[in-house]
Structure 1
Amino acid sequence: MENVVALEQIVNKLPGVKGAKILANEGGELKEIHILADIKKPAKQLVRDIETAIYAASGIKIDRKIVSVAQISDDEQETAETGTYEESLVDASARFNLISVETKSSSKRLTVSVNIDDDGKQLSGSSVVDINDDEKYMAAVEATVAAIRESLPSFRVEFIERLKYGLNDVILVVCSAIISGERRKEAGARLFKKDSFNDIVLVILETLNKM
Protein backbone atom coordinates (compact mmCIF):
# COMPACT_ATOMS: atom_id res chain seq x y z
CA MET A 1 0.00 0.00 0.00
CA GLU A 2 1.41 3.37 -1.07
CA ASN A 3 0.27 5.14 2.11
CA VAL A 4 1.89 2.48 4.32
CA VAL A 5 5.22 2.72 2.46
CA ALA A 6 5.20 6.51 2.86
CA LEU A 7 4.53 6.22 6.60
CA GLU A 8 7.31 3.63 6.97
CA GLN A 9 9.73 6.07 5.32
CA ILE A 10 8.70 8.82 7.76
CA VAL A 11 9.02 6.59 10.83
CA ASN A 12 12.41 5.34 9.64
CA LYS A 13 13.70 8.93 9.76
CA LEU A 14 12.93 9.32 13.48
CA PRO A 15 16.03 9.47 15.73
CA GLY A 16 16.88 6.03 17.09
CA VAL A 17 14.77 4.06 14.62
CA LYS A 18 16.76 1.48 12.64
CA GLY A 19 13.87 -0.20 10.86
CA ALA A 20 10.08 -0.01 10.66
CA LYS A 21 7.38 -2.31 9.33
CA ILE A 22 3.75 -1.16 9.21
CA LEU A 23 0.90 -3.57 8.49
CA ALA A 24 -2.59 -2.47 7.41
CA ASN A 25 -5.82 -4.29 6.59
CA GLU A 26 -7.53 -4.21 3.18
CA GLY A 27 -9.37 -1.03 4.13
CA GLY A 28 -6.10 0.78 4.85
CA GLU A 29 -6.49 0.79 8.65
CA LEU A 30 -3.16 0.48 10.45
CA LYS A 31 -3.16 -2.79 12.42
CA GLU A 32 0.47 -3.38 13.53
CA ILE A 33 3.62 -1.25 13.69
CA HIS A 34 6.90 -3.04 14.38
CA ILE A 35 9.99 -0.99 15.21
CA LEU A 36 13.67 -1.86 15.53
CA ALA A 37 15.50 0.88 17.48
CA ASP A 38 18.62 1.60 19.47
CA ILE A 39 18.47 1.95 23.27
CA LYS A 40 19.24 5.68 23.49
CA LYS A 41 15.59 6.61 24.00
CA PRO A 42 12.99 4.89 26.26
CA ALA A 43 10.54 2.74 24.29
CA LYS A 44 7.54 4.71 25.62
CA GLN A 45 9.00 7.98 24.34
CA LEU A 46 9.73 6.37 20.99
CA VAL A 47 6.12 5.19 20.71
CA ARG A 48 4.91 8.74 21.43
CA ASP A 49 7.25 10.07 18.72
CA ILE A 50 5.87 7.54 16.23
CA GLU A 51 2.31 8.43 17.17
CA THR A 52 3.02 12.14 16.64
CA ALA A 53 4.89 11.63 13.36
CA ILE A 54 2.14 9.50 11.83
CA TYR A 55 -0.57 11.95 12.92
CA ALA A 56 1.36 14.95 11.59
CA ALA A 57 2.02 13.24 8.25
CA SER A 58 -1.36 11.64 7.63
CA GLY A 59 -3.91 12.82 10.19
CA ILE A 60 -4.25 9.22 11.38
CA LYS A 61 -4.51 8.71 15.12
CA ILE A 62 -3.07 5.34 16.10
CA ASP A 63 -3.64 3.23 19.19
CA ARG A 64 -0.29 2.93 20.97
CA LYS A 65 -1.07 -0.72 21.66
CA ILE A 66 -0.42 -1.61 18.01
CA VAL A 67 3.21 -0.42 18.26
CA SER A 68 5.84 -3.03 19.18
CA VAL A 69 9.40 -1.84 19.83
CA ALA A 70 12.48 -4.06 19.89
CA GLN A 71 15.67 -2.32 21.01
CA ILE A 72 19.26 -3.31 20.36
CA SER A 73 22.41 -1.68 21.72
CA ASP A 74 25.03 -0.03 19.54
CA ASP A 75 27.70 -1.85 21.58
CA GLU A 76 26.40 -5.19 20.26
CA GLN A 77 26.47 -3.76 16.71
CA GLU A 78 30.10 -2.66 17.02
CA THR A 79 31.18 -5.94 18.60
CA ALA A 80 29.50 -7.98 15.89
CA GLU A 81 31.23 -5.99 13.16
CA THR A 82 34.66 -6.76 14.63
CA GLY A 83 33.85 -10.49 14.75
CA THR A 84 34.46 -10.81 18.50
CA TYR A 85 30.85 -11.33 19.58
CA GLU A 86 30.68 -13.99 22.29
CA GLU A 87 27.75 -15.32 24.29
CA SER A 88 26.46 -18.31 26.19
CA LEU A 89 23.42 -20.17 24.88
CA VAL A 90 22.28 -20.83 28.45
CA ASP A 91 20.87 -18.20 30.79
CA ALA A 92 20.44 -19.66 34.26
CA SER A 93 17.73 -17.13 35.10
CA ALA A 94 15.62 -17.93 32.02
CA ARG A 95 13.00 -20.64 31.77
CA PHE A 96 13.60 -21.59 28.12
CA ASN A 97 17.14 -22.21 26.82
CA LEU A 98 18.52 -23.57 23.57
CA ILE A 99 20.19 -26.98 23.75
CA SER A 100 20.91 -27.58 20.06
CA VAL A 101 19.87 -26.95 16.47
CA GLU A 102 20.45 -29.86 14.10
CA THR A 103 20.15 -29.87 10.31
CA LYS A 104 19.97 -32.73 7.81
CA SER A 105 19.91 -32.17 4.07
CA SER A 106 19.27 -34.27 1.01
CA SER A 107 19.09 -33.38 -2.67
CA LYS A 108 15.56 -31.98 -2.21
CA ARG A 109 14.87 -31.37 1.47
CA LEU A 110 16.33 -29.69 4.52
CA THR A 111 15.23 -30.85 7.97
CA VAL A 112 15.78 -28.55 10.95
CA SER A 113 15.40 -30.00 14.45
CA VAL A 114 15.44 -27.86 17.60
CA ASN A 115 15.99 -29.02 21.17
CA ILE A 116 15.08 -26.68 24.04
CA ASP A 117 15.46 -26.93 27.80
CA ASP A 118 12.37 -25.92 29.79
CA ASP A 119 13.53 -25.90 33.44
CA GLY A 120 15.05 -29.35 33.09
CA LYS A 121 12.50 -30.77 30.62
CA GLN A 122 13.68 -31.26 27.05
CA LEU A 123 11.37 -30.03 24.29
CA SER A 124 11.89 -31.01 20.64
CA GLY A 125 10.45 -29.88 17.34
CA SER A 126 11.32 -30.18 13.65
CA SER A 127 10.37 -28.82 10.26
CA VAL A 128 11.13 -29.72 6.65
CA VAL A 129 11.56 -27.27 3.75
CA ASP A 130 12.62 -27.45 0.11
CA ILE A 131 16.39 -27.26 -0.16
CA ASN A 132 16.01 -24.44 -2.72
CA ASP A 133 13.74 -22.30 -0.52
CA ASP A 134 15.10 -18.74 -0.21
CA GLU A 135 13.65 -18.50 3.31
CA LYS A 136 15.02 -21.69 4.83
CA TYR A 137 15.27 -19.91 8.18
CA MET A 138 11.47 -20.28 8.48
CA ALA A 139 12.07 -23.99 9.15
CA ALA A 140 13.92 -22.98 12.33
CA VAL A 141 10.93 -20.80 13.30
CA GLU A 142 8.46 -23.64 12.74
CA ALA A 143 10.64 -26.17 14.58
CA THR A 144 11.03 -23.80 17.54
CA VAL A 145 7.29 -23.15 17.76
CA ALA A 146 6.58 -26.89 17.60
CA ALA A 147 9.01 -27.52 20.46
CA ILE A 148 7.69 -24.73 22.69
CA ARG A 149 4.09 -25.83 22.15
CA GLU A 150 4.88 -29.10 23.92
CA SER A 151 5.00 -27.00 27.08
CA LEU A 152 3.05 -23.87 26.07
CA PRO A 153 0.31 -24.78 23.52
CA SER A 154 -0.84 -21.17 23.12
CA PHE A 155 2.57 -19.94 21.88
CA ARG A 156 2.71 -18.19 18.51
CA VAL A 157 5.21 -16.25 16.43
CA GLU A 158 3.03 -13.36 15.27
CA PHE A 159 5.59 -11.62 13.08
CA ILE A 160 9.16 -12.18 11.97
CA GLU A 161 11.31 -10.28 9.48
CA ARG A 162 14.93 -9.70 8.58
CA LEU A 163 16.07 -6.08 8.49
CA LYS A 164 19.34 -4.35 7.63
CA TYR A 165 21.11 -2.67 10.57
CA GLY A 166 24.34 -1.02 9.46
CA LEU A 167 26.46 -3.72 7.82
CA ASN A 168 24.53 -6.54 9.47
CA ASP A 169 21.20 -8.30 9.22
CA VAL A 170 18.86 -8.21 12.22
CA ILE A 171 15.91 -10.46 12.92
CA LEU A 172 12.85 -8.73 14.40
CA VAL A 173 10.21 -10.95 16.01
CA VAL A 174 6.90 -10.57 17.83
CA CYS A 175 5.73 -13.53 19.89
CA SER A 176 2.59 -14.14 21.93
CA ALA A 177 1.24 -16.64 24.44
CA ILE A 178 -1.56 -16.90 26.95
CA ILE A 179 -0.07 -15.96 30.32
CA SER A 180 -2.25 -15.79 33.47
CA GLY A 181 -5.39 -16.08 31.39
CA GLU A 182 -4.63 -13.39 28.79
CA ARG A 183 -2.69 -13.32 25.54
CA ARG A 184 0.46 -11.28 25.90
CA LYS A 185 2.73 -10.01 23.12
CA GLU A 186 6.42 -9.24 23.30
CA ALA A 187 8.89 -8.00 20.69
CA GLY A 188 12.58 -8.86 20.37
CA ALA A 189 15.52 -8.38 18.03
CA ARG A 190 18.87 -10.05 17.45
CA LEU A 191 21.86 -9.63 15.16
CA PHE A 192 22.62 -12.40 12.68
CA LYS A 193 26.07 -13.86 13.11
CA LYS A 194 27.65 -17.01 11.67
CA ASP A 195 24.89 -19.48 12.51
CA SER A 196 21.61 -17.87 11.51
CA PHE A 197 19.52 -20.89 12.56
CA ASN A 198 20.84 -20.52 16.11
CA ASP A 199 20.10 -16.80 16.03
CA ILE A 200 16.52 -17.44 14.89
CA VAL A 201 15.85 -19.83 17.77
CA LEU A 202 17.61 -17.61 20.31
CA VAL A 203 15.65 -14.45 19.44
CA ILE A 204 12.39 -16.37 19.82
CA LEU A 205 13.44 -17.81 23.19
CA GLU A 206 14.73 -14.45 24.44
CA THR A 207 11.44 -12.82 23.50
CA LEU A 208 9.40 -15.58 25.14
CA ASN A 209 11.48 -15.37 28.33
CA LYS A 210 10.57 -11.67 28.66
CA MET A 211 6.83 -12.43 28.92
Structure 2
Amino acid sequence: MGAVDVRKKVTVEEIESLLACLPGVQRVRVVVNDWGAIEEVHVLTGLGRSPKQIVRDILSALKAQWNITLDRKKVSVAQVQVGDLHLSVRLILAGLEIVTDQLSRQAQVSVKLQKVEDDRTVTYSAKSEAEMHETGMLLAAAKACVKAANLTIEPDNFFTVEDVVSTRIRDKTVILVLVSLITPGRHEDLLGAALVRHEPLEATVRAALDAINRRLESLPPRGSLFRAGRMIDVPEDETGTEEPDEAEEEQAEMEDGKAGVAESPAGEKRKEGAKEEASIKER
Protein backbone atom coordinates (compact mmCIF):
# COMPACT_ATOMS: atom_id res chain seq x y z
CA MET A 1 0.00 0.00 0.00
CA GLY A 2 1.44 3.36 -1.03
CA ALA A 3 2.36 6.07 1.46
CA VAL A 4 -0.30 8.66 2.21
CA ASP A 5 0.70 12.11 0.94
CA VAL A 6 -0.16 14.25 3.96
CA ARG A 7 0.95 17.86 3.55
CA LYS A 8 0.63 21.16 5.28
CA LYS A 9 1.06 24.62 3.80
CA VAL A 10 3.54 27.39 4.46
CA THR A 11 3.65 30.77 2.76
CA VAL A 12 6.69 32.59 1.41
CA GLU A 13 6.03 35.32 3.95
CA GLU A 14 6.17 32.84 6.84
CA ILE A 15 9.55 31.62 5.63
CA GLU A 16 10.87 35.18 5.29
CA SER A 17 9.60 36.06 8.76
CA LEU A 18 11.33 33.05 10.30
CA LEU A 19 14.65 33.65 8.55
CA ALA A 20 14.58 37.37 9.43
CA CYS A 21 14.69 36.37 13.11
CA LEU A 22 18.00 34.51 12.76
CA PRO A 23 21.07 36.15 14.34
CA GLY A 24 22.79 38.61 12.05
CA VAL A 25 20.08 38.61 9.38
CA GLN A 26 18.87 42.07 8.36
CA ARG A 27 16.66 41.35 5.35
CA VAL A 28 15.41 38.26 3.52
CA ARG A 29 13.80 37.65 0.15
CA VAL A 30 12.63 34.20 -0.93
CA VAL A 31 12.07 33.53 -4.65
CA VAL A 32 9.85 30.64 -5.76
CA ASN A 33 8.91 29.28 -9.17
CA ASP A 34 5.40 28.90 -10.63
CA TRP A 35 4.89 25.67 -8.68
CA GLY A 36 5.98 27.23 -5.42
CA ALA A 37 9.34 25.45 -5.20
CA ILE A 38 12.07 27.53 -3.55
CA GLU A 39 14.49 28.73 -6.20
CA GLU A 40 16.54 31.37 -4.37
CA VAL A 41 17.00 32.78 -0.88
CA HIS A 42 18.67 36.20 -0.74
CA VAL A 43 19.93 37.37 2.64
CA LEU A 44 21.43 40.70 3.73
CA THR A 45 23.53 40.55 6.90
CA GLY A 46 26.03 42.52 8.92
CA LEU A 47 29.66 41.54 9.45
CA GLY A 48 29.19 39.87 12.83
CA ARG A 49 28.79 36.31 11.52
CA SER A 50 30.34 34.48 8.58
CA PRO A 51 28.25 33.68 5.48
CA LYS A 52 28.85 29.97 6.13
CA GLN A 53 27.25 30.30 9.58
CA ILE A 54 24.31 32.22 8.15
CA VAL A 55 23.70 29.60 5.46
CA ARG A 56 23.90 26.78 8.00
CA ASP A 57 21.37 28.57 10.24
CA ILE A 58 18.98 29.03 7.31
CA LEU A 59 19.16 25.36 6.29
CA SER A 60 18.69 24.22 9.89
CA ALA A 61 15.77 26.58 10.51
CA LEU A 62 13.89 25.43 7.41
CA LYS A 63 14.49 21.80 8.28
CA ALA A 64 13.50 22.16 11.93
CA GLN A 65 10.42 24.32 11.37
CA TRP A 66 8.88 22.78 8.22
CA ASN A 67 11.06 19.79 7.30
CA ILE A 68 12.22 21.61 4.15
CA THR A 69 15.59 20.47 2.85
CA LEU A 70 17.23 23.18 0.74
CA ASP A 71 20.43 23.09 -1.27
CA ARG A 72 22.98 25.50 0.17
CA LYS A 73 23.75 26.74 -3.35
CA LYS A 74 20.34 28.38 -3.46
CA VAL A 75 21.20 30.67 -0.54
CA SER A 76 22.93 33.95 -1.41
CA VAL A 77 24.41 36.05 1.40
CA ALA A 78 25.47 39.70 1.07
CA GLN A 79 27.32 41.34 3.96
CA VAL A 80 27.41 45.08 4.63
CA GLN A 81 28.34 47.41 7.45
CA VAL A 82 25.30 47.86 9.67
CA GLY A 83 25.53 51.62 9.23
CA ASP A 84 25.36 51.20 5.45
CA LEU A 85 21.91 49.60 5.45
CA HIS A 86 19.35 51.75 3.73
CA LEU A 87 17.21 53.32 6.43
CA SER A 88 14.30 54.40 4.22
CA VAL A 89 12.21 51.52 5.60
CA ARG A 90 12.26 53.18 9.01
CA LEU A 91 9.28 55.26 10.03
CA ILE A 92 9.77 58.69 11.57
CA LEU A 93 7.40 60.97 13.43
CA ALA A 94 6.12 63.72 11.13
CA GLY A 95 3.22 65.15 13.13
CA LEU A 96 1.32 64.88 16.40
CA GLU A 97 -2.01 66.55 17.15
CA ILE A 98 -4.23 66.40 20.24
CA VAL A 99 -7.86 67.53 20.21
CA THR A 100 -9.72 67.59 23.54
CA ASP A 101 -13.39 67.90 24.42
CA GLN A 102 -13.81 69.34 27.91
CA LEU A 103 -17.50 68.43 28.07
CA SER A 104 -17.07 64.74 27.34
CA ARG A 105 -13.58 64.59 28.85
CA GLN A 106 -12.43 62.79 25.71
CA ALA A 107 -9.28 63.36 23.68
CA GLN A 108 -8.33 62.43 20.14
CA VAL A 109 -4.68 61.86 19.30
CA SER A 110 -3.62 62.02 15.65
CA VAL A 111 -0.22 60.75 14.51
CA LYS A 112 1.52 61.22 11.16
CA LEU A 113 4.43 58.99 10.21
CA GLN A 114 6.69 59.24 7.19
CA LYS A 115 9.13 57.05 5.29
CA VAL A 116 10.88 57.18 1.95
CA GLU A 117 9.53 54.91 -0.78
CA ASP A 118 11.05 54.90 -4.27
CA ASP A 119 12.74 58.27 -3.70
CA ARG A 120 9.55 59.92 -2.51
CA THR A 121 8.29 60.66 0.99
CA VAL A 122 5.01 58.95 1.91
CA THR A 123 2.89 59.98 4.91
CA TYR A 124 0.70 57.61 6.94
CA SER A 125 -1.88 58.99 9.39
CA ALA A 126 -4.05 57.44 12.09
CA LYS A 127 -6.12 58.50 15.12
CA SER A 128 -7.05 57.07 18.50
CA GLU A 129 -9.41 58.29 21.21
CA ALA A 130 -9.15 58.06 24.98
CA GLU A 131 -10.32 59.64 28.21
CA MET A 132 -8.49 62.77 29.30
CA HIS A 133 -6.06 61.35 31.85
CA GLU A 134 -2.35 60.62 31.57
CA THR A 135 -2.51 56.85 31.11
CA GLY A 136 -5.32 57.04 28.57
CA MET A 137 -3.57 59.75 26.56
CA LEU A 138 -0.29 57.84 26.46
CA LEU A 139 -2.07 54.70 25.30
CA ALA A 140 -3.93 56.68 22.63
CA ALA A 141 -0.66 58.09 21.29
CA ALA A 142 0.91 54.63 21.11
CA LYS A 143 -2.17 53.10 19.47
CA ALA A 144 -2.38 55.87 16.87
CA CYS A 145 1.30 55.30 16.05
CA VAL A 146 0.76 51.55 15.68
CA LYS A 147 -2.31 52.04 13.49
CA ALA A 148 -0.33 54.28 11.16
CA ALA A 149 2.55 51.81 11.05
CA ASN A 150 0.18 48.96 10.17
CA LEU A 151 -0.84 50.87 7.04
CA THR A 152 2.68 50.28 5.67
CA ILE A 153 2.66 46.45 5.83
CA GLU A 154 0.54 43.59 4.56
CA PRO A 155 -2.60 43.02 6.70
CA ASP A 156 -1.55 39.48 7.67
CA ASN A 157 1.21 41.14 9.70
CA PHE A 158 0.34 43.77 12.30
CA PHE A 159 1.51 45.47 15.48
CA THR A 160 -0.60 45.93 18.62
CA VAL A 161 0.01 47.95 21.79
CA GLU A 162 0.16 45.89 24.96
CA ASP A 163 1.08 48.55 27.54
CA VAL A 164 2.63 51.98 28.06
CA VAL A 165 4.56 52.93 31.21
CA SER A 166 6.07 56.23 32.33
CA THR A 167 8.95 55.81 34.77
CA ARG A 168 11.88 57.71 36.25
CA ILE A 169 15.59 56.94 35.86
CA ARG A 170 17.56 59.27 38.12
CA ASP A 171 16.21 62.68 37.14
CA LYS A 172 14.94 61.61 33.72
CA THR A 173 11.42 60.58 32.69
CA VAL A 174 11.32 57.59 30.35
CA ILE A 175 8.41 56.19 28.36
CA LEU A 176 8.32 52.43 27.77
CA VAL A 177 5.98 50.93 25.16
CA LEU A 178 5.38 47.18 24.88
CA VAL A 179 4.33 46.24 21.34
CA SER A 180 3.37 42.83 19.99
CA LEU A 181 4.11 41.81 16.41
CA ILE A 182 1.68 39.26 14.99
CA THR A 183 2.71 37.44 11.83
CA PRO A 184 1.38 34.19 10.34
CA GLY A 185 2.23 31.51 12.85
CA ARG A 186 4.30 33.77 15.10
CA HIS A 187 3.93 36.21 18.02
CA GLU A 188 6.78 38.44 19.20
CA ASP A 189 6.97 41.04 21.98
CA LEU A 190 9.00 44.19 21.32
CA LEU A 191 9.93 46.87 23.85
CA GLY A 192 10.63 50.46 22.85
CA ALA A 193 11.93 53.29 25.03
CA ALA A 194 12.34 57.05 24.70
CA LEU A 195 13.37 59.90 26.98
CA VAL A 196 10.83 62.67 27.53
CA ARG A 197 12.60 65.68 26.06
CA HIS A 198 9.65 67.94 25.32
CA GLU A 199 6.26 66.28 25.79
CA PRO A 200 5.21 62.81 27.07
CA LEU A 201 2.95 62.05 24.09
CA GLU A 202 5.74 62.80 21.63
CA ALA A 203 8.08 60.53 23.61
CA THR A 204 5.42 57.81 23.59
CA VAL A 205 5.28 57.85 19.80
CA ARG A 206 9.08 57.74 19.58
CA ALA A 207 9.14 54.80 22.00
CA ALA A 208 6.55 52.93 19.93
CA LEU A 209 8.61 53.59 16.79
CA ASP A 210 11.71 52.34 18.59
CA ALA A 211 9.98 48.97 18.94
CA ILE A 212 8.30 48.92 15.51
CA ASN A 213 11.34 49.87 13.42
CA ARG A 214 13.31 46.90 14.75
CA ARG A 215 11.20 44.51 12.70
CA LEU A 216 9.65 46.72 10.02
CA GLU A 217 12.28 46.03 7.36
CA SER A 218 11.70 42.27 7.60
CA LEU A 219 7.94 42.58 6.95
CA PRO A 220 6.32 42.66 3.47
CA PRO A 221 5.33 46.23 2.49
CA ARG A 222 1.67 46.90 1.77
CA GLY A 223 0.81 45.90 -1.80
CA SER A 224 4.03 43.93 -2.32
CA LEU A 225 2.56 40.43 -2.23
CA PHE A 226 2.41 39.72 -5.95
CA ARG A 227 2.79 36.12 -4.83
CA ALA A 228 -0.45 36.26 -2.83
CA GLY A 229 -2.10 32.89 -2.59
CA ARG A 230 1.02 31.00 -3.59
CA MET A 231 1.64 28.30 -1.05
CA ILE A 232 4.48 25.89 -0.49
CA ASP A 233 3.75 22.23 0.24
CA VAL A 234 5.65 20.81 3.18
CA PRO A 235 5.75 17.09 4.03
CA GLU A 236 4.22 16.13 7.37
CA ASP A 237 6.79 13.37 7.78
CA GLU A 238 9.81 12.56 5.67
CA THR A 239 12.69 10.11 6.10
CA GLY A 240 16.04 9.80 4.43
CA THR A 241 16.50 13.54 3.75
CA GLU A 242 19.72 14.34 5.54
CA GLU A 243 21.71 17.36 4.41
CA PRO A 244 23.65 16.32 1.25
CA ASP A 245 27.40 16.09 1.48
CA GLU A 246 29.74 17.75 -0.99
CA ALA A 247 29.83 14.73 -3.33
CA GLU A 248 26.04 14.66 -3.65
CA GLU A 249 25.38 18.37 -4.11
CA GLU A 250 24.77 18.15 -7.85
CA GLN A 251 22.03 15.58 -7.42
CA ALA A 252 20.63 17.26 -4.31
CA GLU A 253 20.30 20.56 -6.15
CA MET A 254 17.73 18.96 -8.45
CA GLU A 255 15.83 17.25 -5.63
CA ASP A 256 15.91 19.75 -2.76
CA GLY A 257 14.14 22.57 -4.54
CA LYS A 258 11.08 20.36 -4.73
CA ALA A 259 10.50 20.69 -0.97
CA GLY A 260 7.99 23.43 -1.46
CA VAL A 261 5.91 22.64 -4.53
CA ALA A 262 2.69 24.68 -4.63
CA GLU A 263 -0.81 23.95 -5.72
CA SER A 264 -0.91 27.14 -7.82
CA PRO A 265 -3.00 27.36 -11.03
CA ALA A 266 0.14 27.29 -13.18
CA GLY A 267 1.39 24.26 -11.31
CA GLU A 268 -1.92 22.46 -11.72
CA LYS A 269 -1.64 22.64 -15.51
CA ARG A 270 1.75 20.98 -15.50
CA LYS A 271 1.34 18.70 -12.51
CA GLU A 272 -0.31 15.89 -14.47
CA GLY A 273 2.79 15.29 -16.55
CA ALA A 274 5.39 16.05 -13.87
CA LYS A 275 4.04 14.58 -10.65
CA GLU A 276 7.32 13.18 -9.47
CA GLU A 277 9.18 16.46 -10.11
CA ALA A 278 6.57 18.61 -8.41
CA SER A 279 6.51 16.94 -5.00
CA ILE A 280 8.92 15.90 -2.29
CA LYS A 281 10.13 12.32 -2.13
CA GLU A 282 7.48 10.33 -0.30
CA ARG A 283 9.81 7.58 0.66
TM-score, L = length of structure 2: 0.38
Higher Cα Rg, which structure: 2
TM-score, L = length of structure 1: 0.50
Higher strand share: 1
